[in-house]
Structure 1
Amino acid sequence: MSAPQPHEPHFTFRLPRTALRNAAIAFGVGLLLFLIVWWAGRDDGFYTAQPTLPGKAAPLEALPEPLSTGDGASGMEEPAPRAASDERPQLVEEKPMPTPVPEAAAPTPPEPTAPAAPGVTLAPGDVPVPIPGQTPAPEYPPAAMRSGDQGTVLVRVEVGADGVPTSVEVAQRSGSRDLDRAAVNAVRQWRFQPAQRDGQAVAGAVTVPIDFKMR
């Protein structure tokens, strides 16, 4: 068995609490004094810009003049200066425009006239007159007859110089489309004595009534 080894001694150094507190107070006081001295001795004008005297501008260095090589910057020749006479505006004389000549108003064409056809009698005035025996009566529409429709249709007729109707239309309706249609179809077959003016047949218009009555 080995002989027991002696224990090595351990030493622990401990400062008293009063010493630590005094050291902390001394450090704080020193730091406060340093700040007071630094604040009192700082330079307030360190960042202040120096004012310039009024009326005097700082001298500027002149830039060097560009080199004159005789050629343009791109190596192309510069165009020659134009003469002063070329820049002045020149007055170019032009021939005056011809004065427009007003066109004469076209004359109003007279109403077409035609000599009376052989065997055609002219109306006594400027209103066409139906020729007796050449005015067939309209047929009574069966549908209007079944429904008992009655009435009078006013038909406006435009008659040419030859006495034949050129346009037929309803001027006043009867209330039944069947009766209106039958009246127009009948008057288209009529013949008239054409209107006259100075002994010549002219076109005219007349309105004729067509009555539809059930017996």
Structure 2
Amino acid sequence: MATSSRSAGPGLLDYLPQGRWLLVGAAFLLGWLLFALVWLAGRGDDTTTPGPAKPVAEPVAFEPLPRPMAAGDAATPLPAPTEEARVVEQAPAPAPAPAPAPVETTPLPPSIDEAAPVAGQAMQAPSPLPEQSPSPRYPLDALRRGETGTVILQVQVDAQGQPVSIDVSQRSGSRDLDRAAVEAVSRWRFSPALDAAGNAVPGGLSVPVDFKLE
């Protein structure tokens, strides 16, 4: 019978060596193990216990807006202000003006008389001496041109009766006549001014000088 089985023809097992059977069996078992692991892992993800559900915020209810006022509706008048609610602003009172400082007046000593004349003040004006106040010489150029006029001089005289300053207060219109009047009066001698006590003091006077053709 053993001879009949071998003559039946070579089978699949005859082509495989004897050591390969172990490798085929091990690979088959390893494949089943991998399939089982994958299948168990997939079931574990599906059966995961869900966590607590998060609370959902409740919707906030808003009150509806009031309807718009119609054109014919009148606005509600405001209440009239009461007497207590009125505030009256009062202007601040002006500050009082400062009182003027008193002016101190020093009384004059009784020995001084206000009406008495000051010593040395001229009470009588000086006057030219007739014998020492000759008439000015008529300038020849002014005489040829027929110039005439009046020169008024302001003369200051010292206590000795001599002129110390001469100013022309009014001109004649001719320079030659004005110069001749100043030169003549500068050589005059005067009676000096006198004060209240009769003493000679400096003083001044106005001297007119006329130039006329005869």
- TM-score, with length taken from structure 1: 0.42
Instruction: Please say which structure displays the higher CA radius of gyration.
Output: 2
Which structure: greater helix fraction? 2
- TM-score, with length taken from structure 2: 0.42
